[in-house]
A and B are shown apart, each in its own frame.
Chain A
């Protein structure tokens, strides 16, 4: 492939850089990059990759644009609300640079489709907001031998790292397992709108460097960014010989759905109670001490509003305070939206409680379906 005169003009400020030149720009033109997640991180990453002339840009996201996305997801404008993200993204990216091809994948990345999707691309940029997808992407990149630029954000803080096959550690070497319901996502915890702009731009930078073969990639270094302090730090980490996917004796040989693993690892004895079902149980068991409500939120959340009769044992303290649950009682774990309470059930099962239950959808579901007067505190 060669560059047209219009492209030479468009990319002039690249072409005059000795590190890029015409040959480098042609490498970008020939490159295929997949952006997983058209969210806060994927938005700036995709915009810069498109503007930079990456010839084929894949955008993978199954969601639609929501009003609450717009404070950080700069790919979309207000008129795009309700549209498939990939459709709105393609329109914006092709408008920015009609010289490139934008390929859309309006799907959720799963073990069943990850091979077919990733094998079409040279570099993967991971901007997903789901731990299960984050580990699936990492594992698939290791197994398929694809370079990966990963980043994640939380409130005012971000992280980024780059994996290149055979040249350094993978994401699992850094964090072998996903947090188990203990780390809130952006919707619960909030996020500074401009934060993913910084991290997404770093991801685009890394992807471009990998394509050009210039500079020093973020391999074996975790870059952290604290927007409140305006400080970057970097922490070196090494490949783990016992890493489950890139170690000496890997146990993950095929990409696997993490949430599937969790689901299969969830004992069938865990009861999942809807808000109306729990209400019915409480009505019937009035004065019956066999049912014990255990609210696993933080004390500040508990004090703002909780169900009558519930005791407060924050999830982090649960394992050592399980003895407060008398033998013969069936604990029902409760939290804000159902994530921490499910994690609490797993802790309880591990510690020998045979039939824990949890309130599916949490107190948000209770407030929505049973008692709208209940005050449900936001997460810090």
Chain B
């Protein structure tokens, strides 16, 4: 997974991490086990991707957390940046 810059405080500064799962939901759950709290920054209480976040599997945008993920895919976590 490629982690957006504003979320790297959860991953000890790492921009690339690995996670296991067959769907985005499983991937994010796995990620959250290792980096507690990071999933909630991407997904709200109703399991919707937050409106200032976008998830891409390789270069295709994820439509929902049930989207499947294959071995070797890269999930890009994109966050609206605000600096200028």
Q: Does B64 sit within 8 A of A, measured CB to CB?
A: no
- Which chain B residues (44-71) contact chain A, with CB distance < 8 Å? 45, 51-54, 56, 59, 61
Within the complex, what minimum Cβ distance (angstroms) separates A364 from chain B?
18
A-B contact pairs, 25 of them (CB 8 A): A37-B84, A40-B84, A42-B84, A127-B84, A129-B83, A134-B82, A152-B84, A153-B83, A153-B84, A154-B82, A155-B5, A157-B81, A159-B81, A174-B80, A175-B52, A179-B52, A179-B82, A182-B41, A191-B83, A222-B78, A298-B9, A317-B37, A317-B40, A319-B45, A380-B8
Hey, which chain A residues are within 8 Å of B84, CB to CB? 37, 39-42, 126-130, 151-153, 186, 196
Residue A320 CB within 8 A of the other chain: yes
Assess the B4–A130 pair: CB atoms within 8 A. Answer: no
User: Measured between alpha carbons, how far is A314 from B41 in the docked complex, in Å?
Assistant: 11
Q: Residues of A within 8 Å of B, CB-based: how many?
A: 54
Which stretch in A12-20, A82-90, A224-232, A302-310 binds the other chain? A224-232
Interface residues of B (CB under 8 A from A): 4-6, 8-9, 13, 15, 36-38, 40-41, 45, 51-54, 56, 59, 61, 76, 78-84
**Contact in complex: A235, B56 (CB < 8 Å):** yes
Chain A min CB distance to B74 (Å): 10
In whole Å, how far is B3's beta carbon from the nearest beta carbon of chain A? 10
Chain B residues contacting A154 (CB-CB under 8 Å) are 5-6, 81-83
Q: Which residues of B contact A314 (CB under 8 A)?
A: 37
Taking a contact as CB atoms under 8 Å apart, the answer to whether A174 and B54 are in contact is yes
How many whole Å from A358's CB to the nearest CB in chain B?
Answer: 20
List B contacts of A175 (CB < 8 A).
51-54, 80
Q: How far is the CB of A59 from chain B (nearest CB, A)?
A: 14
Interface residues of A (CB under 8 A from B): 37, 39-42, 126-131, 134, 151-159, 174-179, 182-186, 189, 191, 196, 222, 224, 226, 228-229, 233-237, 298, 300, 314, 316-317, 319-320, 379-380
Residues of chain B within 8 A (CB-CB) of A189 are 6, 83
Docked Cα-Cα span, A194 to B11, in Å, equals: 25
State the Cβ distance, A377 to closest chain B Cβ, in Å.
Answer: 11
Contacts of A379 in B (CB 8 A): 9
Contact between B81 and A158, CB atoms less than 8 A apart = yes
Q: Is A40's CB under 8 angstroms from B15's CB?
A: no
B80, A157: Cβ atoms under 8 Å?
no
B36, B61, B76, B80: the one contacting A233 at CB < 8 Å is B76
Identity of the chain B residue whose Cβ is nearest the Cβ of A150 in the assembled complex: B84
Closest residue of chain A to B13 (Cβ to Cβ) is A380
* Docked pose: A320 CA to B45 CA in angstroms: 9
CA distance A40 to B45 in the complex (A): 36
Shortest beta-carbon distance from B71 to chain A in Å: 21
Of A42, A127, A183, A298, the contact of B81 (CB 8 Å cutoff): A183
Q: Is the Cβ of B37 less than 8 Å from the Cβ of A131?
A: no
B37 contact set on A, CB distance < 8 A = 314, 316-317
Q: Give the docked Cα–Cα distance between A196 and B84 (Å).
A: 7
Contacting residues, chain B, for A127 (C-beta < 8 A):
84
Taking CB atoms, residues of chain A closer than 8 Å to B40 are: 316-317, 319-320
Chain B residues lying within 8 Å of A185, measured Cβ to Cβ, are 82-83
Q: In the complex, what distance in Å separates the CA atom of A214 from the CA atom of B76?
A: 31
B13, B41, B83: the one contacting A186 at CB < 8 Å is B83
User: By the criterion CB–CB under 8 Å, are A183 and B9 in contact?
Assistant: no
Please determine whether A177 and B52 come into contact, CB atoms closer than 8 angstroms. Answer: yes
Closest to A130 in B: B82
CB <8 Å contact, B54 and A152 = no
In the complex, the answer to whether B61 meets A152 with C-beta atoms within 8 Å is no
A234 with B59, Cβ < 8 A, contacts A127-B84, A152-B83, A154-B6 known: yes
